[in-house]
Structure 1
Amino acid sequence: MYSEIVGSKTMVVSPHYLASQAGNTILQKGGNAFDAAVAVSACLAVVYPHMTGLGGDSFWLTYSKKDEEVRAYNGSGRSGENVTCEAFKGKQAIPYRGIESVITIPGMVDSWDAVLKEYGRLSLREVLAPAIEYALEGFPLSKDQYENTVKNEGMLREDRDIAAIFLPNNKIPAINERFVQTNLARTLKELAVNGRDGFYKGELGARFISSLEEKGGLLTRDDLGSHQGSWTEPLTTTYRGYDMYQVPPNSQGFVGLMALNILENYELATIPEGSYEYYHLLVESLKRSFEDRNKVLTDPDFHSIPIEKLLSKSYAKEMANSIHPLTARDIQTQSIGSDTAHAAVIDEEGNAVSFIQSLYFEFGSGIVAGDTGIVVQNRGSFFSLDSSQVNCLEPRKRTFHTLMPAMAFKNKKPRILYGTQGGEGQPQTQTLMITRMIDYGMKPSKAISEPRFVWGRTWGEATQELKIEGRVNLDVIEQLAKAGHHVNRVSEFDGSMGHANAILIDEQGFVYGGVDPRSDGAAVGR
């Protein structure tokens, strides 16, 4: 089910082959990894429009060979000035869909501008060209978009603007049918000419906000105009001689580092990969990391987060000692949206980018902003209306965010760029991938294609299920159930496992790219 793509100079991986090809085209035209990454990001907004778009957020990890520095860019938006708990009086929670779920500013367009201005070689017009072409001329509708359209047809019919795009001629487009987004193409052309401020402060942004206001939205032009993402220091820890990097809060990236710190207390290489012991240790390490995350994660501008303690090796040792080899720990967590798109690029100079973007749920809020063609995210629906909760809704606040692109370095050079779709599943799949590559020596495609699990509560379910793919040995599944895991054996390459990507640069400098067989992706290298 997997094939290894090997290059000697460059690599682009993404969950859609057209986006990967676009990134490679930009590299061949003289762009660097940063130019190519923005091109891939914009293309995913077009060819994977149910997962990501201009109305959503993004997080970036960047490595500049010239500066020899890893940096993080937080491209997530804040809630509006008028968005308060009082605005949802009488409700137990913020609605997951509809105009009431549109309460945070989209941050992705700002992130394109930031990355290109800091490190890019080409203009925004040049890197947006492939995305504009796909939007204007159309592309073959993916199986993933088709399946998500079928799943959400009823919701898509509730907003006439989104229905006009995704249900053309009042029907679901077929797989491989040409899918055109004329309004989105026009919006991308406006951005190519007017840049970032055309959206956040210009006429395009005015139309965007006006259309939301007409539908009863709370966001204002002042909210849009005041948005600014931020460059930050990445979080880091060590694992088996590698330096591991994640973006800091409001991202959940530290969960991935915590799990690795815990696992470092075990000699995984002596434990067979795919065994009961392997899966049990990973699940239990992640559960303990989730417990802490749920208590503290929110916008660090509003609440202090004890990152130093959470990432300390001594704390990880305590957590490791609490894991019983034969008994699962029962903890509670909540369901989190899982629909995102991760991609990564490395160029021949050695520059590297790992980034991830999302609308939160598939098709986000289910709202399109008038004639802009922009699907608006519902990320803010994860805020709590309970004032005692750390992630409670407040004006101008960034919510708890699942997006977490990752990198692993060795000898101060990028070795592994990795990430995945999946909300709650992101740190879980990342931990599977990275242990398989570092502890068991797997190349990216094999690490991604081997059986996976996702622990957590699904929508409408009371139990914390451990979904595990049917390819796992039945004896292992029975042992996990006996230990107290609420096992749900799912299909062999189940969609609930998300879409993962990875790039590996080996000791000789060869570049390996892997994409998920569950996705429509491609690894393109040369």
Structure 2
Amino acid sequence: MRLPPVHVPCVDVPRRTPRPRSLSLCGLALAAALLASPTVASAADRVTGAPFATRSEVYAPHAIAATSHPLATQIALDTMRAGGSAVDAAIAANAVLGLMEPTGSGIGGDLFAIVWDPKTQKLHGYNGSGRSPRSLSLAEFQRRGLTEIPAHGPLPVTVPGAVDAWFALHQRFGRRSMAQNLAPTIAYARDGHPVHETIAYYWDRSVPRLSKWPGFAEQFTIDGRAPRTGETWRNPNLANTLQAIADGGRDAFYQGDIARTVDAYFKANDGYLSYDDLASHRGEWVEPVSTNYRGFDVWELPPNGQGIAALQILNILEGFDLKAHGFGSVEHLHLFTEAKKLAFADRARWYADPAFDPAPVARLISKDYAARRRALISMDSALREVQPATPAQLDEGDTIYLTVADADGMMVSLIQSNYRGMGSGMAPPGLGFIFQDRGEQFVLQEGHPNAFEPGKRPFHTIIPAFVTREGKPWLSFGVMGGAMQPQGHAQILMNLIDFGMNLQEAGDAPRIQHDGSTEPAGQATPMRQGGELDLETGFDYAVVRELMRRGHSVRFADGPYGGYQAIMVNPQGGWIGASESRKDGHAAGY
């Protein structure tokens, strides 16, 4: 029997990066491809007719965690069993993912989080993104003849905000000491752990690209190659770095010997990140913003992230009866794609560091603005080009995602990344981590809101999400993967709210990814000819043909569909969890 195409997980990289084509990455993705009928448009199991899922939802009465690695999930649960809060558990899980899944995370990257606090009955947002080096200028890129910031090496490096974010979250919501939260990762880093299959695959892809940069091969390969599936990996340098942080707090990272080592390393390697850049870093608490979608309040963080794109997509789609059209229908796929194009045109124009160029967020996520944009959609033909809103119309953002909920009702939605999988490749000697290359997201174009400037935060792709209903928590979730993230957020909520899927089905249903919209990075090239539409296995071929008749350019693509974790409040008491079948994900509770 011939197998249908298997789509494998993506990392937080731009779509121009080649995607893997492999039938061996993860058994659950293979199971999904085998069971999902390519001629059924309802995301249904071809035997039972029920909505398709790779596994059951996870139910837990007290606490629950969903991460992209089974050992990280267990560490989160162990932390809460020992008296830690959901924030303690999220920090512990994030720390160990930096060791075990360095293809998507690490202390060289940034972090964003949304926390539901049961004491105040309120959501709290944290923007843990770092700024560009203050000694680097747009003129320097121009002097070098660059029109885009390189993907790797010292030039795209920005200040890593993850460690600061850990301590800010912990100060407000933690119960165990940071030393206790970091202890499991320190032990695994010294003693070793077996590398999981999907991670080994992406690690192997990163080694040829990044080994040229000083410190990478010495600290992130075994005799010049990536660790293989099941092979034990140790990182004693990271253990020492985390022990210094556990002993000395956040300042040990941003103002101590670690910062001095970083400063010397970049000075010796044509870099600009300095001790002063690290010492001056502070993340910030921010107010999440929301829109109501069919009675559910969907919360995202405001720019410099891209979260409000999900809110704009949902606002546009709310004017259509998606439930009547049905999952996988031509109308479902067409309307979603057109709404995404409209939202992403604004994303390219308006989303940037608000300290330099504040976006009109309230107007962008308003219902009347959505109605104006919705009127641009034709049911019979695809939009070829889309313009963003003008200022006059508006007067009046590779990765890991995890979510944790504890027995007291605290919920954490946390996303963290080095960008481009393993980041810049810049790994200072003896520290055991790689710096992010998030600065690649700047535009080298004077006057653009996302133009490179010293001390500025770039446009950011990583976004956590949260949903409340009638003022009470309902869902903590995320979908990692570059520009797929707001598209994935909207699709998960459509699956849950419009199409009646359960939490696991909503993640396992075949996904849509539109590519080719104007980007707020690089040269910010406008969308031409409507872009490209990627459809995962499971959509009716007759639907695909009709999409093409309406002007959509549909192509085959492996893997640009993101990675999902979610926790929902069980109305009967306790929690419901789900995790991504396209990655090594694991949801569990007690």
Partner of 2:305: 251
Q: d(CA) in 2 for partners of 1:77 and 1:67?
A: 28
1:403-414 equivalence runs, <5 A: 403-414=462-473
Q: d(CA) in 1 for partners of 2:192 and 2:516?
A: 37
Kept after mapping to 2: 8 A contact 1:414/1:505: yes
Instruction: Provide the alpha-carbon RMSD of the alignment.
Output: 1.8
Kept after mapping to 2: 8 A contact 1:291/1:331: no
Shift of 1:202: 1.1
Aligned length: 518
Q: d(CA) in 2 for partners of 1:127 and 1:142?
A: 23
Within the candidate set 67, 73, 76, 2:129 is matched to 76
Partner of 2:290: 236
Q: Letter of the aligned partner of 2:420 in structure 1?
A: F
SS across alignment from 2:186: helix
1:15-94 equivalence runs, <5 A: 15-88=68-141, 89=143, 90-94=145-149
Shift of 1:274: 1.6
Within the candidate set 461, 469, 484, 2:536 is matched to 469
SS across alignment from 2:87: helix
Normalising by structure 2, we get a TM-score of 0.85
SS across alignment from 2:556: strand
Q: d(CA) in 2 for partners of 1:139 and 1:477?
A: 44
Partner of 2:218: 164
Partner of 2:560: 496
Partner of 1:13: 66
Q: d(CA) in 2 for partners of 1:478 and 1:506?
A: 40
Partner of 1:402: 461
Q: d(CA) in 2 for partners of 1:258 and 1:131?
A: 39
1:112-151 equivalence runs, <5 A: 112-151=166-205
Q: Deviations over 1:123-175 (max 9, x none)?
A: 11011112112222121112222222332332122024111233211223211
Q: d(CA) in 1 for partners of 2:385 and 2:136?
A: 32
Partner of 1:95: 150
SS across alignment from 2:98: helix
Residue 268 in structure 1 maps to residue 322 in structure 2 = yes
Partner of 2:573: 509
Within the candidate set 413, 419, 426, 1:354 is matched to 413
Q: Letter of the aligned partner of 1:495 in structure 2?
A: G
Unaligned 5+ runs, structure 1: none
Kept after mapping to 1: 8 A contact 2:155/2:439: no
Within the candidate set 204, 209, 227, 1:173 is matched to 227
Partner of 2:509: 450
Partner of 2:584: 520
Q: d(CA) in 2 for partners of 1:130 and 1:325?
A: 54
Q: Deviations over 1:15-45 (max 9, x none)?
A: 1111111111101101111111111111111
Normalising by structure 1, we get a TM-score of 0.95
Kept after mapping to 2: 8 A contact 1:341/1:420: no
Q: d(CA) in 1 for partners of 2:91 and 2:293?
A: 30
Q: d(CA) in 2 for partners of 1:171 and 1:252?
A: 35
Kept after mapping to 1: 8 A contact 2:110/2:162: yes
Query: Quick one: structure 1 residues 211 and 332, their matched pair in 2 at CA, closer, same or farther if it must change by over 3 Å?
Result: farther
Partner of 1:286: 340
Shift of 1:369: 1.5
Kept after mapping to 1: 8 A contact 2:384/2:528: no
SS across alignment from 1:274: coil
Q: d(CA) in 2 for partners of 1:326 and 1:8?
A: 48
Q: d(CA) in 1 for partners of 2:65 and 2:108?
A: 24
Q: d(CA) in 2 for partners of 1:144 and 1:211?
A: 31
Q: Letter of the aligned partner of 2:140 in structure 1?
A: A
Partner of 1:373: 432
Partner of 2:21: none
Kept after mapping to 2: 8 A contact 1:209/1:369: no
Shift of 1:440: 2.1
Q: Letter of the aligned partner of 2:545 in structure 1?
A: E
Partner of 1:208: 262
Q: d(CA) in 1 for partners of 2:574 and 2:533?
A: 36
Within the candidate set 523, 541, 546, 1:479 is matched to 546
Within the candidate set 388, 400, 404, 1:345 is matched to 404
SS across alignment from 1:372: coil
Kept after mapping to 1: 8 A contact 2:342/2:386: no
Q: d(CA) in 1 for partners of 2:515 and 2:100?
A: 29
SS across alignment from 2:490: helix
Residue 419 in structure 1 maps to residue 473 in structure 2 = no
Q: Letter of the aligned partner of 1:228 in structure 2?
A: R
Deviates more, 1:224-233 or 1:136-145: 136-145
Q: Letter of the aligned partner of 2:572 in structure 1?
A: Q
SS across alignment from 2:572: coil
Q: Letter of the aligned partner of 2:121 in structure 1?
A: E
Shift of 1:3: 2.5
Q: Letter of the aligned partner of 1:93 in structure 2?
A: E
Within the candidate set 234, 238, 246, 1:192 is matched to 246
Deviates more, 1:183-192 or 1:460-469: 460-469
Q: d(CA) in 1 for partners of 2:551 and 2:364?
A: 26
Kept after mapping to 2: 8 A contact 1:73/1:230: yes
Kept after mapping to 1: 8 A contact 2:424/2:436: yes
Shift of 1:462: 8.6
Residue 315 in structure 1 maps to residue 369 in structure 2 = yes
Partner of 1:324: 378
Kept after mapping to 1: 8 A contact 2:124/2:288: yes
Q: d(CA) in 1 for partners of 2:261 and 2:339?
A: 47
Deviates more, 1:253-262 or 1:2-11: 2-11
Within the candidate set 499, 523, 534, 1:440 is matched to 499
SS across alignment from 1:500: strand
Query: Quick one: structure 1 residues 165 and 280, their matched pair in 2 at CA, closer, same or farther if it must change by over 3 Å?
Result: same
SS across alignment from 1:248: coil
SS across alignment from 1:497: coil
Q: d(CA) in 1 for partners of 2:483 and 2:117?
A: 30
Q: Deviations over 1:347-383 (max 9, x none)?
A: 1111111010111111100111221011000001111
SS across alignment from 1:237: strand
Q: Deviations over 1:32-85 (max 9, x none)?
A: 111111111111111110111100001010111001111110000011111211
Q: Deviations over 1:100-142 (max 9, x none)?
A: 222x100000000000001111111011112112222121112
Shift of 1:309: 1.1
Q: d(CA) in 2 for partners of 1:317 and 1:132?
A: 52
Q: Deviations over 1:318-344 (max 9, x none)?
A: 1222211121112479xxxx9111111
Kept after mapping to 1: 8 A contact 2:105/2:400: yes
